[in-house]
Amino acid sequence: MKKLLTLLLVIVFWAGTQDAMNAQKYSNEFLTIGVGARAHAMGTAVVAGQKDVYATAWNPAGLAGLAPEEGLEIGAMHAEWFGGVGNYDYLGFTLPLSGKNQRLGFSIIRFGIDNIPNTLTLYEADGTINFENISEFSAADYAFLGTYARAFPKPKGELRLGGNVKIVRRTIGQFANSWGFGIDLGAQMDRGDWTFALLARDITTTFNAWSFSFNDSERETLSLTGNEIPINSVETTNPTLILAVNRKFNITKDIGLTAELDLIATTDGKRNTLISADPVSIDPAFGLEAGYSDFIFLRAGVSQLQRIQDFDQVERLNSRPSLGLGLKVGKLNVDYAYTDLGEDDGRSTYSHIVSVRLGLKPKQ
Of the pLDDT bands very low, low, confident and very high (cuts 50, 70, 90), residue 66 is very high
How distant is the alpha carbon of residue 8 from its chain centre?
Answer: 20
pLDDT in tens, 171-205: 988 888 899 999 999 999 999 999 999 999 999 88
pLDDT score of 131 more than 50: yes
Q: Which of 102-116, 124-138, 326-340 has the lowest mean pLDDT?
A: 124-138
- Please say whether the beta carbons of 133 and 121 come within 8 A: yes
The CA-to-CA distance between both ends of the chain, in Å, stands at 36
pLDDT of residue 327: 96
pLDDT of residue 10: 40
pTM listed for this prediction = 0.83
Cα separation, 321 vs 356, whole angstroms: 22
Q: Which of 19-28, 111-120, 239-248 has the lowest mean pLDDT?
A: 19-28
pLDDT of residue 349: 64
Cα separation, 298 vs 129, whole angstroms: 54
- Please say whether the beta carbons of 210 and 232 come within 8 A: yes
Residue 183: phi, psi to the nearest 5?
Answer: -135, 135
pLDDT of residue 175: 82
User: Up-side HSE of residue 114: CA atoms within 13 Å toward CB?
Assistant: 6
